[in-house]
Amino acid sequence: MKKGILERLDAGEVVIGDGGYVMQLERRGYVKAGHWTPEAAVEHPDAVRQLHKEFLRAGADVLETFTFYSSDDKLEISGNVTSITGEQINEAACDLAREVANEGNALVAGSVSQTPCYANSRNEEEVKAIFKKQLDFFMKKDVDFLIAEFFSYVEEAVWAVQVLKTSGMPVAATLCISPEGDLNGVSPGDCAVRLVKAGAQIIGINCHLDPLTCVRTVKLMKKGLEDAHLKAHLMVQPLGFHTPECNHEGYLSLPEFPFALECRAMTRWDMQKYAREAYNAGIRYIGGCCGFEPYHIRALAEELAPERGFLPPASQKHGLWGSALATHFKPCVRAKSKREYWENLRPASGRPLCPSMATPED
Amino acid sequence: MKKGILERLDAGEVVIGDGGYVMQLERRGYVKAGHWTPEAAVEHPDAVRQLHKEFLRAGADVLETFTFYSSDDKLEISGNVTSITGEQINEAACDLAREVANEGNALVAGSVSQTPCYANSRNEEEVKAIFKKQLDFFMKKDVDFLIAEFFSYVEEAVWAVQVLKTSGMPVAATLCISPEGDLNGVSPGDCAVRLVKAGAQIIGINCHLDPLTCVRTVKLMKKGLEDAHLKAHLMVQPLGFHTPECNHEGYLSLPEFPFALECRAMTRWDMQKYAREAYNAGIRYIGGCCGFEPYHIRALAEELAPERGFLPPASQKHGLWGSALATHFKPCVRAKSKREYWENLRPASGRPLCPSMATPED
Amino acid sequence: MKKGILERLDAGEVVIGDGGYVMQLERRGYVKAGHWTPEAAVEHPDAVRQLHKEFLRAGADVLETFTFYSSDDKLEISGNVTSITGEQINEAACDLAREVANEGNALVAGSVSQTPCYANSRNEEEVKAIFKKQLDFFMKKDVDFLIAEFFSYVEEAVWAVQVLKTSGMPVAATLCISPEGDLNGVSPGDCAVRLVKAGAQIIGINCHLDPLTCVRTVKLMKKGLEDAHLKAHLMVQPLGFHTPECNHEGYLSLPEFPFALECRAMTRWDMQKYAREAYNAGIRYIGGCCGFEPYHIRALAEELAPERGFLPPASQKHGLWGSALATHFKPCVRAKSKREYWENLRPASGRPLCPSMATPED
Amino acid sequence: MKKGILERLDAGEVVIGDGGYVMQLERRGYVKAGHWTPEAAVEHPDAVRQLHKEFLRAGADVLETFTFYSSDDKLEISGNVTSITGEQINEAACDLAREVANEGNALVAGSVSQTPCYANSRNEEEVKAIFKKQLDFFMKKDVDFLIAEFFSYVEEAVWAVQVLKTSGMPVAATLCISPEGDLNGVSPGDCAVRLVKAGAQIIGINCHLDPLTCVRTVKLMKKGLEDAHLKAHLMVQPLGFHTPECNHEGYLSLPEFPFALECRAMTRWDMQKYAREAYNAGIRYIGGCCGFEPYHIRALAEELAPERGFLPPASQKHGLWGSALATHFKPCVRAKSKREYWENLRPASGRPLCPSMATPED
């Protein structure tokens, strides 16, 4: 019997999250950018299963169900899923996550996210009905806990938490907001307070901005909780892309979104730095979102191996800090088999006609 | 019965190659950088099979056996493969490629590459014996044709071609050289002549340098053949990274190799440009090497769909030139649903502390 | 009889300031970086006179006496001025400015700046005695008005204003602070209030940061005055260098300071944009500081020629917006003879191994 | 009696040239870009005299007459010089250079450059007549030697040398070409041979490209002379701008030419590196062209002070390698008072929206 998510966090363990599914599966050919819906859970289960396995192997302690944007209203609007129902997708996704999670010590998290319904109507009853429907799938399929993630408005996240709490399962909630607050201008500290008061035991930030910015926002949430004498576990699942110039809209506002983000991709060494920063900020649920590939998750697990006491399976195929280069036939490559080299490298883009920063849309 | 590789090329068809296996499987957790050996064919067949499937789905007409660096001498030197034999790896790799190729119209190419033996001894007999051993596996497993690839010295490539030709199967040969020639200073034109005289029916360039540079080198090979009144089909499988400042050592000489190449990664739009350039240069076997992920292969197939007459399966999940963004809720994203936008974008790296170019090692 | 500075500003005229003397004369060979003292007024009067003439010709309505860092305590500390007295420097500088100003419609402004004495002692009496001594020179030489500039602490600037006000002449005061406030944390708005209450009729910002940042700080000062129901004329004399990453220490904290600032230098087109921004912000005394060469001042005068009703003499040698290129023999140069070209150009540095941003020291 | 130019070079002395006049005087307000004619010699002699003085003070051993583009045909075409004759300009320029040269140990070089006549007619007789007319001014005014410079075609330069040789004075000749050769495709080596055969005692390269590229071209010229068993002194007066991406058209082909070259400007440390490279290449007449300000010339003189045995007057106001920063009040500035710091600095442009390289026009 595996320990639950709260048992782990209460015991002070570091929980490594998984990475991003939709962007990675878009590149693998199974998700359509612009729609970002998860019908691949039904159409191409092998592809989804394999990505789950890679995250597990990289060290993930949690596998999220591949149910992003799988609410009925979203599927309908996107229009690219016609012969499959939301029920089929949600259930297939639960099965895939469970199957792979059982190959290791990972937990399955059922995940809900922002709805077009909220954006259009602000109608609490309708929005909650959507979350309730997804929750029913998760309960039927017996996930281990629940995550409400990718909310731009804390109000909608609170509604999601309230619905998910009815299950009796642990609930985590993450917003995709900047240090300036949610799109209504609610500060990160106030957002945190509202989420915890709604019942979330784990709160934090996901997506939209780069790791160090997201950690900064979580720190503001933590401060908000402290000021309100509230407690919760902290969580962060940021982008795997550098977004230093982004505003509160996050990477959606970048000219490069979504088809030219390559040169913003973070290295494994960037990820080790991020893992350390997150840990030092008191965050204990540390994962990724769009842009996080399996090797990025492995980097988190490797950075925090001293705290966790073990390396992930995928480290069998990775020399720490480049150590496997020590026997390379080229001396200039051998010279790279050490931490100092990779920590201090400033990688070139090979794009001298390109700027280093973009002007985000407002 | 599928048409063979020469039938296709002789008929003027465009053949789309697959992308890079070792770097992609390193990121997925199954290959160890520094060694780059393919024991995953035995250890983690699901992972290899899945990547084959993704390339097939993206439009690849050829699946190479995952047998890079699987000669006995290389496996022994690398030292990270102890309980598995080269025979097991080569045979498992053939089976995986065949299994997936049979799901579509793709051919299986058995692949051999440069050996440490050549670098150390220059002994023709010993080197040829190594290639002969791999060839025996391929013949036992019944591949469709053979590729000798990733050779820095045309002499070793010629030896490989001579061995592979004994099979009676079609033979392709690609060098990993720059427009300056092979590491002995043999010009691309002379290299081409030697390879064709040795019996290769398809010749070209793979790895080490970026697409446009590799196309330039193939053009020099083509010119060499013309000057010698020889004929062969042309092939190119370049890096998926920008390497404008590299010398004849290719990306091995970059400070970013191999763990910080992210920001050099090419976009799908870069790939469409490359596919067109390669086509215009008269190359008809167009694929990729390290850095080419499935979506890069899809981009080749999409660019050349007018010539080929069809789109690959993975295009079901891709709006051409960003067209699937046309219904996005943000106007600034909707504005990106057209070719003009993506063709002209100069993507920012988000790394203002980094240079755009590196100083390669000599 | 020329109109005084307040008459001009009260009448709504735009007053163009001059540019930076010490950095420009350092490059011309007459000022020693690190000391930045103005002994050239005595040692090389031709060099100082010529620079005054160039600023006048470029459109400057004010010539500041070349008396930066010429207080006795500063001269003594710097140690590089041994056979000349502060009195000699200050008086020679006044004569030079007057001589050139009389060749046009410009006014002479006697200038005092921050003292080492303040940094070391915070002793009001001692600091004021230093300013009083300089003031005596200015009164003896009959300047037109006074400027207290380059103060990091509003307290010292207030003392300077209080001393200068005893002359009965108009007094301007500018701080070298960021939008965050002075080095004691006094906000720009509060700084403005204190300076006006001390008697300054013109207030603003000079040096340390780039034009758009300085304009932003002046706007905060303006807001502070409005909130306090006070009035003053606004003035700005920023750096002529791009400093987007600088903190409150300004360009002193840049790795490039002071001998590698070249690639941060602003173009004439940057200056036109700045002049417009400053004007739109309600600022009517618009000039420059370190990095402003004569052609930068001309660019201010050209941008604001519609408001001022005339072009400066130096515009005889400048086609507006590149129009003098219209007859160039190369078509690609002729194509540049228009505003649209220069306004939209993103100039390349020609330094692909260099970053675009630096990490300022704290 | 001063030693002549050949006496100095024959004795193995390093001769420091002066810098660029037209671009610097454009910025000071006296030359019109697009025309680049030197009427300021008559209109504003103080401005020209002062720049001569600054170059002399910086260490220049030669002052070129400010007679660039002052041939009658060029003045007529430019159309911006109406009430002054070429004779007046040339004679005034000679007087100014002589006056300042006599304040030190510098020589006066009369300078002629490419003519529109050659570009339009290729008529030897007409072109030579133009040079002859300028030569007459120089002989009347008694310059010390002659320079034919800024020629894109060696043929025109040869004609100039042939005319200048009739004076009996020493003649130097420099081309503004790239390592690829002149605009007719004559190689640098062949150009060198032709110039020496025409009678030039000093040959080399000026303008159009950055220092290290120009030194490379001079090396090719040197090799050409050696192969032809000819001898001449070598000279180089390159641009003071980084132009790594330029083709044979030089900086004329850059988008930034001529009004946004700021961020390509070289630092004094770049110049020291250049001076050393030039010296090591065997060049003994080392100066600058457009973009070289007085402090750049000082840097040449400082780098080569060990060879020359003395520092220039302007070094009284310059601590070598930043040594004058040793007493700065900020520790981070004090830390910069050493060679190692400035030699290794990679200066940031402060322009994150700009590329590092441009696409030159063909």
Task: Give the model's pLDDT for residue B362.
Answer: 73
pLDDT above 90: residue A148? yes
Please tell me the pTM assigned to this model. Answer: 0.94
Q: What is the pLDDT of residues D156-212, one digit of tens each?
A: 999 999 999 999 999 999 999 999 999 999 999 999 999 999 999 999 999 999 999
pLDDT of residue C73: 82
Q: Say yes or no to pLDDT of A328 above 90.
A: no
| Whether the predicted pLDDT of D89 surpasses 80 | yes
Query: Which residues of chain A neighbour B252 with C-beta distances below 8 Å?
Result: 330, 333
Look at residues C103, C174, C101, C173 and name the one whose alpha carbon lies nearest to residue C144. C101
ipTM, 2 decimals? 0.96
pLDDT in tens, C68-123: 988 888 888 877 777 899 999 999 999 999 999 999 999 999 999 999 999 999 99
Which of the other chains make 3 or more beta carbon contacts under 8 angstroms with chain C?
A: A, B, D
What is the spatial distance between Cα A19 and Cα A360, in angstroms, rounded to a whole number?
25
Query: Does the annotation list C207 as a binding residue?
Result: yes
**Residue D354: predicted pLDDT:** 96
Q: Give the residue from D103, D15, D97, D98 showing the smallest Cα distance to D57.
A: D103
**pLDDT tens digits, A53-95:** 999 999 999 999 999 988 888 888 877 777 899 999 999 999 9
Higher pLDDT, C187 or B331: C187
Ligand-binding annotation for B191, yes or no, is no
Q: What is the rounded distance in angstroms from the CA atom of residue D242 to the CA atom of residue D251?
A: 9
Task: Using a CB–CB cutoff of 8 Å, tell me whether A28 touches chain B.
Answer: yes
pLDDT in tens, C309-352: 999 999 999 999 999 999 888 888 899 999 999 999 999 999 99
User: Which of C352, C355, C357 is the closest to A352 by Cβ?
Assistant: C352
The burial class, CB within 10 Å (0-12 / 13-18 / 19+), for A358 is buried
Residues 6+ apart with CB under 8 A from D19: D55, D58, D60, D240, D287, D288, D289, D291, D292, D293, D294, D296, D297
Does B208 contact chain A (CB < 8 Å)? no
Separation between Cα atoms, residue B179 and residue B212, nearest integer Å: 11
Reported as a pLDDT band with limits 50, 70 and 90, residue D361 is confident
DSSP string, A269-338: HHHHHHHHHHHHTT--EE---TT--HHHHHHHHHHTHHHHSS--GGGGG--GGGGGGGG-SSHHHHTT-S
Q: Do D29 and C325 touch (CB under 8 A)?
A: no
Q: Do B294 and A27 touch (CB under 8 A)?
A: yes
Chains touching A (at least 3 CB pairs under 8 A) are B, C, D
- Residue D176 is assigned to a ligand binding site: no
At A147 the pLDDT is 98
Query: Locate tokens 């060494």: which residue?
Result: A269
Which residues between 229 and 248 in chain D have a beta carbon less than 8 angstroms from any beta carbon of chain C? 241-245
The pLDDT score that the predictor gives to residue D215 is: 98
D351 Cα to chain A: minimum distance (Å): 9
For residue D317, pLDDT over 90 is answered with yes
Instruction: Give the residue-averaged pLDDT of D37-53.
Output: 97
Which region, left, alpha or beta, applies to residue B61 given φ > 0 means left and ψ of -120 to 50 means alpha?
A: alpha
CA distance B83 to chain A (A): 15
Residue B71's pLDDT is 81
Specify the pLDDT at position A18: 98
Query: In chain C, which residue's Cα lies nearest the Cα of B348?
Result: C356
- Flag if A298 and B29 touch (Cβ within 8 Å): yes
Taking the Cβ of residue C152 and every Cβ of chain D, the question of whether any pair is shorter than 8 Å is answered with no
Contact B356 D357 (CB under 8 A): yes
The SS3 call for residue C145 is strand
Q: Given CB atoms, is B352 within the 8 Å cutoff of chain C?
A: yes
Look up residue A108 and give its two tokens.
Answer: 């399955």
| pLDDT tens, residue by residue, A265-299 | 999 999 999 999 999 999 999 999 999 999 999 99
Contact status of B358 with chain C (Cβ, < 8 Å): yes
Dihedral sign, CA of A145, A150, A154, A160?
negative
Look at A201 and B362; give whichever has higher pLDDT: A201
In chain D, % of residues over pLDDT 90: 91
Name the phi and psi angles at A217, rounded to 5. Answer: -65, -40
Task: Find the length of chain A.
Answer: 362
Percentage of chain C exceeding pLDDT 90: 91
CA D266 to CA C34: how far, in whole Å?
20
pLDDT at C164 over 80: yes
CB atoms within 10 A of CB B21: 29
Give which of C68, C63, C77, C72 is closest to C37, Cα–Cα.
C68
User: pLDDT for B100-109, tens place per residue?
Assistant: 999 999 999 9
User: What was the pLDDT predicted at A70?
Assistant: 86
Mean pLDDT computed over every residue of chain D: 96
What crossing angle do the helices spanning D294-303 and D45-58 adopt, rounded to 10°? 20
pLDDT per position as a tens digit, D234-261: 999 999 999 999 999 999 999 999 999 9
Verify whether the Cβ–Cβ distance B355 to C358 is below 8 Å.
no
* Facing B352 at nearest CB: one of A34, A256, A357: A357
Band (B81; pLDDT cuts 50, 70, 90)? confident
What is residue C289's predicted lDDT score, i.e. its pLDDT?
98
Query: Does B354 lie at the interface with C, CB-CB under 8 angstroms?
Result: yes
The answer, for D332 touching chain B at a CB cutoff of 8 Å, is no
The whole-number pLDDT of residue C322 equals 94
The residue among A259, A261, A332, A357 with the most chain B CBs within 10 A of its CB, best to mutate, is A259
Query: Residue B258 in contact with residue B264, Cβ under 8 Å?
Result: no
A297 exposed, middle or buried (CB, 10 Å; 0-12, 13-18, 19+)?
buried
Alpha-carbon Rg of chain D, whole angstroms? 20
C176: which residues sit within 8 A by CB, 6+ positions away? C149, C150, C151, C152, C205, C206, C207, C208, C209, C250
**Closest residue in D to B356 (Cα–Cα):** D356
Whole-number percent of chain D with pLDDT over 70: 100
Helix axes A86-101, A124-141, angle to 10 degrees: 40
Would you say residue B186 has pLDDT above 90?
yes
Residue D80 has pLDDT above 80, yes or no: no
Question: Per-residue pLDDT for B126 more than 90?
Answer: yes
Residue in C351, C353, C359, C361 to test binding to D, most D beta-carbons within 10 Å: C351
Neighbours of B53 (CB within 10 A): 23
Residues listed for chain C: 362
Give yes or no for B123 touching C (CB within 8 A): no
Q: Where are the domains of chain C?
A: 5-319
Say yes or no to pLDDT of B79 above 80.
Answer: no
Tell whether B85 is within 8 A of chain C (Cβ).
no
Is B356 close to D356, i.e. CB distance below 8 A?
yes
Mean pLDDT of B112-117: 93
Q: B291-300, D63-72, D251-260: which range is least confident on average?
A: D63-72
Nearest CB among D314, D329, D349 relative to C264 is that of D349
For D321-341, the pLDDT digits (tens) are: 999 999 888 888 899 999 999
Chain-chain contact of C352 with B353 (C-beta, under 8 angstroms): no
Q: Which residue is closest to A356 within chain C, CA to CA?
A: C356
Q: Which chains touch B (3 or more CB pairs under 8 A)?
A: A, C, D
What is the nearest CA distance from D207 to chain C, expressed in angstroms? 16
Give A264→chain D minimum CA distance, Å. Answer: 14
Residue B76: per-residue pLDDT: 83
Tell if the CB–CB gap between B353 and C357 is shorter than 8 Å. Answer: yes
* Maximum separation of any 2 CA atoms in chain B, in Å: 66
Average pLDDT over residues C220-230: 98
User: Does domain C5-319 correspond to CATH entry 3.40.980.10?
Assistant: no
D: neighbours with 3+ CB pairs under 8 Å? A, B, C
Burial of B11 (0-12, 13-18, 19+ CB in 10 A): exposed
List, for residues B165-178, the tens digit of each pLDDT value: 999 999 999 999 99
Answer yes or no: do B352 and D352 touch at CB < 8 A: yes
C195 pLDDT higher than 80: yes
Q: Which residue of B has its CA nearest to A324?
A: B34
pLDDT at D246: 95
Considering chain C, what is the average pLDDT of its residues? 96
Interface test with chain D among A243, A245, A356, by most D beta carbons within 10 Å: A356
